[in-house]
Structure 1
Amino acid sequence: MKMTIEDIIAREEIRACIARVARGEDRRDALMIESSFCANARLDFGVFAGAFADYLSWVIPGSQAISNTQHQLGQSHIELCGDTALVETQVTSYHRIDYGAGEEHDVVIGGRYLDRLTLREGSWRIASRTMLYDWHQDWGKSVDWSQGLLGMQFSAPHFSGRAKGDWSMDFFNAD
């Protein structure tokens, strides 16, 4: 299959759209997520199914019990058909979950996003997303990051990542 320059550009724009959602979820940034979805998008995560507006209310501000998240995206299989794209993207997501009484666990989920994207007004956006789950692992009690890493203290508090108030937000908003 020979790709045109337009196909290559479309594929990169689609990957950027999917990456914006992951970063938006990890930083709980509604504007970043909104820039990646059609307003009338439908989503189904198995534990949540519904309209985009309801999803956004569910994912932002996110559960207070989840202080850290990280979505790592793998390869995307992209099938272009005019102004529509069908995309399967591998995803591994990490979540630090507070089960109460100071018991935080590191939980990792592996799966795939099945996205239908449409090209609207020159921008690729997700029209529907279904999450398929391939595996799940509870890694057990979380490490206390306030003590640093490998027995060495952090030189500043911003080295420990978190969903809200993460230093990367300042990094990208610096002049």
Structure 2
Amino acid sequence: MSDRLADIHAIRDVVALYCRGVDRLDLDLVRQAYHPDGIDHHIGFDGTVDEFVPWLGRGLEFLAGTMHFIGNHHVDFVGDDIAISETYLTATHWGKPDQGKANFTTGARYVDHMERRDGRWAIAERWAVREWTRPDVFVAPERPGPRGTRDADDPLSVLVKRFGV
């Protein structure tokens, strides 16, 4: 039997990797969260990871940014190499000031069928379950300072490049 705490950590890291990929518009990270034959069920989408990643990319390019906050996370194991993961999250989406419908926050759950294959946990099938949505109004930054970007100028990208991570 495997070390359950290490498995839980690895599964949670898959969810965090996915969220980082979405928020940084790094579709390679999003793809890494899934097994190659993974399936995703999102609002407005239902299909394979090979179909999902480009679909997601088209939607994210319309937005100026997103920020996912991961909350409660629970894992139920089905044997050693299959798990059901439920992750509560809040995700904020924003566009340009004139894109009213692009500015919203949603409460959701990722209900994931996770599998360990060749020692690596990843999503075999995901349901992105939206529980609620509310419109948001965004304002211009109040002062100069670091701002997140979805390119090589983002502070995370700068550090990753500097240290070769």
TM-score (norm 1): 0.83
Partner of 2:106: 109
Bigger-Rg structure (1/2): 1
Q: Output one character per residue of 1:49-108: Cα deviation in whole Å (capped at 9) or x when no partner.
A: 11101111112354332011011111111001221000110011010024xxx5144310
**After the TM superposition, which parts of structure 1 deviate over 6 Å for at least 4 consecutive aligned residues?**
none
* Correspondences of 1:112-127 after superposition (within 5 Å): 112-127=109-124
1:49 aligns with 2:54: no
Q: Contact 1:111–1:132 (CA<8 Å) still a contact in 2?
A: yes
Q: Contact 2:114–2:124 (CA<8 Å) still a contact in 1?
A: yes
Alignment match of 2:149 (pick from 146, 149, 162): 162
Q: What amino acid does structure 1 have at the position aligned with 2:135? A: D
Partner of 1:40: 37
Percent identical: 23
Q: Contact 2:25–2:60 (CA<8 Å) still a contact in 1?
A: no
**RMSD of aligned alpha carbons:** 1.8
* Distance in 2 between residues matched to 1:31 and 1:63, nearest whole Å: 14
Partner of 1:63: 60
| Closer, same or farther: CA 63–22 of 1 in aligned 2, 3 Å | closer
Stretches of structure 2 that go unaligned for 5 or more consecutive residues are none
Q: Output one character per residue of 1:96-142: Cα deviation in whole Å (capped at 9) or x when no partner.
A: 024xxx514431000101000000110101000001111111122x2
Cα displacement (A) at 1:48: 1.1
* Correspondences of 1:132-151 after superposition (within 5 Å): 132-140=129-137, 142-145=138-141, 149=142
* Distance in 1 between residues matched to 2:99 and 2:59, nearest whole Å: 16
1:30 aligns with 2:64: no
Q: What amino acid does structure 2 have at the position aligned with 1:160? A: R
Q: Contact 1:39–1:52 (CA<8 Å) still a contact in 2?
A: yes
Query: SS of 1:161's equivalent?
Result: coil
Partner of 2:86: 88
* Distance in 1 between residues matched to 2:31 and 2:43, nearest whole Å: 21
Cα displacement (A) at 1:5: 7.0
